[in-house]
Structures are given as structure tokens and as C-alpha cells.
Amino acid sequence: MARLGSWIESHPEGIYVRPADAWIDPSQPKPRAWITHGHSDHARGGHGAVLATTETLAIMQCRYGPQAGQPIPYDETIRVGEVDVRFVPAGHVLGSAQIVLEHQGERVVVSGDYKRRPDPTCACFVPVPCDIFITEATFGLPVFRHPDTGGEIDRLLHRLHADPSRCVLVGAYALGKAQRIITELRARGHRDAIYFHGAVERLNQLYQQFGVDLGELRHTASATKQEMAGHVVICPPGALNDRWSRRLPDPVTAMASGWMRIRQRARQRNVELPLIISDHADWDELTMTIREIEPTEVWITHGREEALKHWCMTHQIKACELNLVGYEDEDE
């Protein structure tokens, strides 16, 4: 009998689904690409035919211009070559999906990036039982346990209210994290206008077009220092320490990322208020998900694979690492 999943090949530039002649999240331009979500380490420009959710295609169009893309709604199965393909919510960012593949009675799920805790900006992760679960492991170490999101948002609000002459400047990745911070603030009852850096504007608009309510937003370019005092300002992480922030009223520098668990990372970026808010599964979410899905095999991609592999083996699940290149943690 053939090895389980022998029709799926792992190459440095991505996962190749042979009976469909298609690549998943390839790092090089390919004639047929299936894209899990819009982050630039997964969704690149220059492919031939792209298959992705409507939201992901819209994000790709926003970043790379018109796409030769076919939108696929969640949970709809289509046949490509000899493979049945279905996109299922991954709970990572707007439009993010796991890709479920079926071929000759075997089911393989490619998780893409995912998380299990609720996120007001996207559909919740759906566990799909399968033979092979190909999982990310960005935070695949037991030290990574993300705290409750509401508690982190409360720390932000507490700091904001402590000194109304200052603003709190939050560094958050422009796709997903920025909009999530805004909606989490709204969920905690924060109704004031939130200011944003120009680099976040187009994605804010895209989220709003897809029905995500972000409340009152204002561009920092059209505001005075005084107006922004006592307000939250959102910018991409790269803008936290650049000249641009000098026009803000004495900012308290904050950053929202799973990496803020590591003090040294916060210090490197001169972050005064580290907020541990992640769009990736932490250790408990990774292991809980594998327990729930009960796959025969787990294949582990980008991240700290070793510990999760060991955990799988101690739970009688066969596990291996895939050495894919080009996946960064820029979305965190």
C-alpha cells in the first residue's frame, strides 16, 4: 500500500498537490495556486490561475492589482483534476481558510495560519477530521500561552485613561491585526474616534466593505496633536519608531503581537506597553486542535516544529517537519 498522502509533495517553495497540478501558498509564481489567506508570505503576486476565498482575492487585488482569480465560498466543494477541494474557515484574518483536499479516499487538511480564540473580524476555525493535518507552528513551544485578549485590551484602555494628555500608539500588522485591535476595543465599549496611519487605510476600508464595523476612524494626517491626545492611534509596526510618530502627542508606544511574550523583542522595538495579542494558535490551541481532529499523521510547517513533533509522538501520532522556505512571522 502506498504511503499516506503520497500524492502531496513538499517542496521548499510550497506544497504541491500532484493530481490537481496545483500549489498551495507557493513562494514562487506558479500556473495554478491555491491561497489560504492574504498575508504576503502566503499570497504572492504573479500566479496564473488563483483559487481563494472572495475576501482573500480582494486583499490580493488590493496589494498586487487585478488577479486571474476564481473566488470560492467557504464549504463549497469543487473538483480540480482528480482532487476535491474545499475551503474552510481558519479564524486567522478576514477570508482566511484551511484547504481540505480529498483524493482516493484520503483526506488532507492544510491549515494555513490559524487560531482558535474568537476574532470579531473573521469566521471561527472549523475543525475537520482528516488523515493528515498539515499545521503551522509559529508558536509551537509550551512557553507560548497567549493571555485572554479582553484583559490585554483592558490594559491598553487603562493606560489610555491614565493620562489624557498623551495618546497610545499601537503597532499592529496592517492586514488583520490592526482591524482586530479596533474591533476588540469596540467590544470593550470604547466608542471614541480611533486614529490610523495612512498605511492601514486601504485595508480598513476593505474590512468595512465586507461588513466589519470599525466605528469612527480618522486619518492622523488630518488631525492636530491636540486632537489626538487621549486617543488610540494604530500604525504598522515599522512606523512605531520613525519620524512620523513625532507629530503625535507624547505617545505611549504599544505593540500587539504574540512575540510580546518575549521581553527582549519588546525592548528591541522600544515598546513601553507590550500587548500579547496574536492571530496564531498558541501551544494549547495547537495541541487542542490536534486532539480534536485526531489525524493519523501531522506534518508541521513554518515555526518551532521540534516540540510539537515530540508532543505528537508522545500521543501516538506520527509527525514530521516540512521544510518550506519563505514563510515569515511578519504578520505577527
Residues that bind Zn ion (CB under 5 A): 39, 113, 327, 331
Closest CA relative to residue 322, chosen from 86, 94, 111, 38: 111
Rounded Cα distance, 235 and 13, in Å? 31
Q: Which is nearer to Zn ion, 299 or 327 (CB)?
A: 327
Pairing of strands 32-34, 49-52: parallel
Q: Which is nearer to Zn ion, 144 or 327 (CB)?
A: 327
Q: How many residues does the chain have?
A: 332
Q: Residue 194 in 3-state DSSP?
A: strand
Q: Least distance in Å: CB of 244 to Zn ion?
A: 25
**Residue 221: partners with Cβ closer than 8 Å, 6 or more residues away:** 198
How does 3-20 read in b/e, with b if 16+ C-beta sit within 10 Å? eebebbebeebbbbbeeb
Question: For the chain, give me the number of helices (H) and strands (E)?
Answer: 8, 19
Q: Which is nearer to Zn ion, 282 or 331 (CB)?
A: 331
Pairing of strands 22-24, 14-17: antiparallel
Q: Which is nearer to Zn ion, 135 or 149 (CB)?
A: 135
Contact 274, 255 (CB under 8 A): yes
- DSSP type of residue 156: H
Q: Least distance in Å: CB of 257 to Zn ion?
A: 12
Beta strands in 124-163 (DSSP E): 132-137
Q: Which is nearer to Zn ion, 25 or 102 (CB)?
A: 25
Q: Which is nearer to Zn ion, 111 or 253 (CB)?
A: 111
Q: Least distance in Å: CB of 246 to Zn ion?
A: 31
Q: Which is nearer to Zn ion, 7 or 125 (CB)?
A: 125
Q: Least distance in Å: CB of 37 to Zn ion?
A: 6
Q: Least distance in Å: CB of 39 to Zn ion?
A: 4
Q: Least distance in Å: CB of 6 to Zn ion?
A: 26
Rounded Cα distance, 303 and 217, in Å? 35
Q: Least distance in Å: CB of 41 to Zn ion?
A: 5
